[in-house]
Homo-oligomer: A and B are copies of this chain.
Amino acid sequence: MTLDTSPLRPLGRTRLYEDLVERLGEFVVRTNLRVGERFPPERELASRLEVSRSSLRQALAVLENQGFIEVRHGGGVFLRRSRGFGGVLHKLVERRARLPEVLEARELLEVRLAELAATRRTDEDLASMRAALVAMEAEIASAGLGMDGDAAFHHAVHRAGDNKVLEHVIDGLAEAIHETRLESLSEPNRPRNSLVAHRRILDAIEAQQVAQAADAMRAHLRQVADVALLRWEPSVEDPPLP
């Protein structure tokens, strides 16, 4: 009996609570629910959406965690903000047309972190950065792309910058950045160039040259950005959206 011609499900898997997040977003606009107003009770909402309360509560947990709703015990579920309800950073970022925005944000954050690192770096931070570059060099020597070392280096810089909030924010962009890094390092000769650029950043941070660190980081990122934009911009289409 096995006609299993559908073994592939890399994407498009059904996670009910994820659908619910979107459907709740639709609910907000359909019922014209305003910020501050209350949703129907969970039980009613669940029955209207034709799901169980437990599934609904998974979706509500996500939305609450995301800051879109506020759930008051005994009080009800309230809309906090409606802007981009179903749209998390993930979704936002995976649209190629948005790449320039990602790169813009990354530059802003990383350059500042580099400046901070130049001011605040400890010897331990420097050791981490050096270790990352050593690892990167080893990867490249064995024909690798040095992506792990690359990531480790930037991570070390972030830690040296000593601002948990900025660090966390940039983590949010990590996935998208990872993609651009892959694109960039796949370019011929790019790994070695990248290594040199990283060394320049490290030197500036070590010498506590703030402006120089910022410039070095900016230059490095723009080099990456050029490649990424060149490769991606031609393929502009991205139909309206499902």
- Of A96-104, A204-212, A225-233, the one contacting chain B is A96-104
Question: Chain B residues with Cβ under 8 A from A163's Cβ?
Answer: 101, 104-105
Within 8 A of B (CB), among A95-126: 98, 101-102, 104-105, 108-109, 112
Contact mask A151-180 → B, CB, 8 Å, 1/0? 000000000000111101101111100000
In the complex, whether A66 has a CB less than 8 A from a CB of chain B is yes
Give Cα A92–Cα B164 distance, bound, in whole angstroms: 8
A73-B13, A98-B164, A169-B169 as given contacts; A88 in contact with B65, CB under 8 Å? yes
A164-B92, A169-B172 as given contacts; A65 in contact with B67, CB under 8 Å? no
- Of A39-47, A56-64, A132-140, the one contacting chain B is A56-64
A57-B54, A83-B171, A171-B83 as given contacts; A108 in contact with B166, CB under 8 Å? yes
Contact assessment for B165 and A105 in the assembled complex, using a CB-CB cutoff below 8 Å: yes
Within 8 A of B (CB), among A61-92: 61-62, 64-67, 70, 73, 81, 83-84, 87-90, 92
Contact assessment for A171 and B104 in the assembled complex, using a CB-CB cutoff below 8 Å: no
* CB-CB nearest in chain B for A91: B168
Chain A residue total in the interface (Cβ 8 A):
45
In the complex, whether A27 has a CB less than 8 A from a CB of chain B is no
Contact assessment for B102 and A165 in the assembled complex, using a CB-CB cutoff below 8 Å: yes
Question: Chain B residues with Cβ under 8 A from A197's Cβ?
Answer: none
* CB-CB nearest in chain B for A18: B65
**Among the listed B59, B65, B93, B171, which residue makes an inter-chain contact with A165, where contact means beta carbons less than 8 Å apart?**
B93
Give Cα A165–Cα B172 distance, bound, in whole angstroms: 10
**Among the listed B54, B65, B104, B168, which residue makes an inter-chain contact with A65, where contact means beta carbons less than 8 Å apart?**
B65
Contact assessment for B105 and A166 in the assembled complex, using a CB-CB cutoff below 8 Å: yes
Quote the shortest CB–CB distance from A117 to chain B (angstroms): 14
Quote the shortest CB–CB distance from A148 to chain B (angstroms): 10
